Chains A and B, each alone.
Chain A
Amino acid sequence: MGDRLLIIPIGALMFGLVGALIWRFGQRRWPLQVGGVLLALVVAALVSEQGLNSRPQAARLVAEGFGQLALGRLAVGLLVGGLAALALELVIAGNDGQDAGATALTVVLGAPAALTLTSDSLPVVAFSTAMLMGAVWVRWQRVAGPQLLVRSLGRQTVIVFSALLAAAAILPSVRLGAAPPLLEAVLLAGAVAGEMGVLPFSGWAGASMRLGPRESSFWRIWMVPVGLLLEARLVAASPTSVATSLRELLIGLGLATALFWGARALLGPEEGRYPRILACDVGLMCTAIAFATGQGLAAALVLLLVHWLAGSLFIAKSGVRPKLLAWIGISGVPPFGGFAGRILLVITAASFSPTLAVLVLLVVGLQLGAAAVGMRTNVASRPTTSSPPRELIGLIVAVSGLVLGVVPVQALALVLGRHP
């Protein structure tokens, strides 16, 4: 690790400090303000360290030792974007002190997320991913007890840890031709699926909103982006024989997830409709990245930005107008961000196979229907408005979804340093 990357352990320390402050003194306002200043310092240091120019992250994957930490522009963008999504949530939904534990944990989880995003060592990634998922499991168990979905997350934490460690263990042998590449691909695909909440490991993901709106933020803010970048790096850095099978597996799993959760979002009850649409989009993002093209990655990242913006609006208890705009934003109606991400994915899928493009279009239709039902329920519900400043911020965030759809290339370049 170079001296310049000392920012990562320092940042991790800061994250821990802020989390501890919010956790301990969550009922008061000053921890959030102090924490905000500390985090702003970390973010400023990250940006000054990295600059705003795009720098590609080295595509390498090691199993022996700790490897190196590579702080690419995309990783910086995902970290800063995650924190910004958390800040949006706090501003729009408010912080009444009851969710201080969730807020603290979301801040603290930035540290293992940063390690996963920057390390090129598979055992280190296994370690940090287990820390990330394990912390969420502990939190959920404390909040809700051992419900089925909490137990599922506990099991999947260990399964992701197992799959990544086993993949690391046999990677040197795969490179030498002494172990089957298909086995390595299955292990890596299982790890990615478990980390992101893709079928067959998505039961906890779609139902997470039941634990409380703020409790599902861990998944949207950290686990999905970390899983996306992890998938992109695994696909790019695996030996060719592994990467081919890995991509095929992830395309299949992602599409199956999107179809399953798309149908459930359309036909299921109103409660939890948004997490089901998110689960459906996670499937689409998984598929998009598995295409291993710049356009596919851009499609996934646009969808991620859409949910970072819209998610905070769905968490708020009041504010009908921003929520209505958020439903339109994620529905896939042009020219909002949801449309931009999905149309990019359809174009990418069409260049691989017409069948894939038709399946993606089917998913887009399911999402449009589900969002329409959500909009109808939202309009029919008793109109509630939050305080004027929050309502205004909510409207600005919702309109940002429109801006994202109109200028997706510029938005991606600004936030994540990507040029599709």
Chain B
Amino acid sequence: MTLAALLAGGGFLAAAIALLSVGPLGMAISALALGLGLGGVASLSGGVPDFSVVAGVGTGAAVLIATGRYFPGLASGRWLLGSSPIVGRERVFDVRSLRLLTGIGGLMAARLLAGHLGAGTVSTQGPAFACLFAWEVGVIRVATGRGPSDLALGALCVAMGSSTFLILSAPHSVLAISALVITLPAVALVLLTRTAPWETGS
């Protein structure tokens, strides 16, 4: 197994964790996994600096989410959004089952589509697959989301997936802008991770 395939596998695993995670601890683990997994993919073309940026944002967000329990000012979603009434909603599947089913569909779509994508002139089927799957996981989290934290995690997934692919395409000129676009949802995730959900589970 080549290094590229190994790192792409790490990116895929990170996205799978983000797909199925729940609760504040799950959000922290997801941010950490996304940072390390997709940072590894970014390092394929950008080396250590790009890995440091992506992994640093993910790890930083994870640490802040984990410590948010002790520093309420960090998780100020209630101050930001106000108190939210929770609405019950019947579902045929539990939300994680729904995410799993759509995730399997997304996995197949990513597998098919990754063959048609190239990062610049470089053939990057494995890494492109990881980026694409992370982006799809973000969209799935947003579409099936039951609260603001789902939106923030979805945004982090799409930002990390897209930025990593952009880094693969143009490694030396996009680091700063990538840092900007992944920091925005990471900050949102830290702020919103402990907000009340909009809907209860089935």
Residues of A near any B CB (own CB < 8 A)? 63-66, 121, 123-124, 126-127, 130-131, 134, 138, 141-142, 145-146, 151, 154-155, 157-159, 161-162, 165-166, 168-170, 172-173, 176, 178-180, 183
State whether B162 touches A162 (Cβ < 8 A): yes
10 tightest A-B CB contacts, nearest first: A178-B118, A165-B162, A162-B158, A169-B165, A169-B162, A146-B198, A64-B170, A169-B166, A172-B169, A64-B173
Decide yes or no: A158 and B184 within 8 Å by CB, A64-B174, A138-B81, A166-B162 being known contacts: no
Which listed residue, B119, B142, B181, touches A158 by the CB 8 Å rule?
B142
State whether B165 touches A170 (Cβ < 8 A): yes
State whether B116 touches A169 (Cβ < 8 A): no
What CA separation (Å) do A146 and B146 show in the bound complex?
10
State whether A155 touches B142 (Cβ < 8 A): yes
State whether B181 touches A165 (Cβ < 8 A): yes
Nearest A-chain residue to B196, judged by Cβ: A146
In the assembled complex, 19 residue pairs joining A and B whose CB atoms fall closer than 8 Å, in A order, are A63-B169, A124-B180, A127-B180, A127-B181, A130-B155, A130-B184, A134-B188, A142-B81, A154-B151, A155-B145, A158-B151, A158-B154, A158-B155, A161-B155, A165-B158, A166-B135, A166-B161, A178-B118, A183-B113
Q: Beyond A142-B82, A161-B159: 6 further Cβ-contacts under 8 Å? A: A124-B180, A126-B181, A158-B151, A159-B142, A172-B169, A180-B116
What CA separation (Å) do A145 and B199 show in the bound complex?
12
Main secondary structure of the interface of A (DSSP, over half): helix
Decide yes or no: A155 and B151 within 8 Å by CB, A145-B82, A166-B158 being known contacts: yes
What CA separation (Å) do A165 and B131 show in the bound complex?
12
State whether B116 touches A179 (Cβ < 8 A): yes
Q: Which of the four size classes fits the interface of chain B?
A: 35 or more
Decide yes or no: A141 and B84 within 8 Å by CB, A123-B180, A155-B145, A166-B135 being known contacts: yes
What CA separation (Å) do A168 and B164 show in the bound complex?
11
Decide yes or no: A65 and B177 within 8 Å by CB, A162-B155, A169-B162 being known contacts: yes
State whether B85 touches A63 (Cβ < 8 A): no
Does B143 sit at the interface, judged by CB under 8 A? yes
What CA separation (Å) do A162 and B138 show in the bound complex?
8
State whether B166 touches A146 (Cβ < 8 A): no
State whether B135 touches A146 (Cβ < 8 A): no
State whether B151 touches A176 (Cβ < 8 A): no
B135 partner residues in chain A, CB cutoff 8 A? 162, 166
Which listed residue, A66, A162, A176, A180, touches B120 by the CB 8 Å rule?
A176
What CA separation (Å) do A157 and B83 show in the bound complex?
21
State whether A66 touches B177 (Cβ < 8 A): yes
What CA separation (Å) do A158 and B173 show in the bound complex?
25
Does B80 sit at the interface, judged by CB under 8 A? yes
B95 partner residues in chain A, CB cutoff 8 A? none
State whether B117 touches A173 (Cβ < 8 A): yes
Contact with A along B135-177 (1 / 0, CB 8 A): 1001100110100100100110011011101100110011011
A170 partner residues in chain B, CB cutoff 8 A? 117, 165, 169
Shortest distance between the CB of A295 and any CB in chain B (Å): 36
State whether B85 touches A124 (Cβ < 8 A): no
B177 partner residues in chain A, CB cutoff 8 A? 64-66, 121, 123-124
Decide yes or no: A173 and B119 within 8 Å by CB, A64-B173, A64-B174 being known contacts: yes
What CA separation (Å) do A176 and B118 show in the bound complex?
9
B81 partner residues in chain A, CB cutoff 8 A? 138, 141-142
Nearest B-chain residue to A167, judged by Cβ: B162
State whether A63 touches B116 (Cβ < 8 A): no
Shortest distance between the CB of A317 and any CB in chain B (Å): 25
Contact with A along B58-84 (1 / 0, CB 8 A): 000000000000000000000011101
What CA separation (Å) do A178 and B151 show in the bound complex?
31
B188 partner residues in chain A, CB cutoff 8 A? 134
State whether B139 touches A64 (Cβ < 8 A): no
What CA separation (Å) do A146 and B188 show in the bound complex?
17
A123 partner residues in chain B, CB cutoff 8 A? 166, 174, 177-178, 180-181
Does B3 sit at the interface, judged by CB under 8 A? no
A63 partner residues in chain B, CB cutoff 8 A? 166, 169-170, 174
Does B1 sit at the interface, judged by CB under 8 A? no
Shortest distance between the CB of B16 and any CB in chain A (Å): 18
Output the residue of A138, A161, A165 with the most chain B CB within 10 A.
A165
State whether B170 touches A165 (Cβ < 8 A): no
Contact with A along B111-123 (1 / 0, CB 8 A): 0010011111100
State whether B158 touches A158 (Cβ < 8 A): yes
What CA separation (Å) do A145 and B84 show in the bound complex?
6
What CA separation (Å) do A180 and B162 show in the bound complex?
16
A64 partner residues in chain B, CB cutoff 8 A? 166, 169-170, 173-174, 177
State whether A172 touches B181 (Cβ < 8 A): no
State whether B176 touches A146 (Cβ < 8 A): no
Shortest distance between the CB of A126 and any CB in chain B (Å): 6
Shortest distance between the CB of B182 and any CB in chain A (Å): 10
Which listed residue, A66, A168, A180, touches B166 by the CB 8 Å rule?
A168
What CA separation (Å) do A136 and B51 show in the bound complex?
33
A168 partner residues in chain B, CB cutoff 8 A? 162, 166
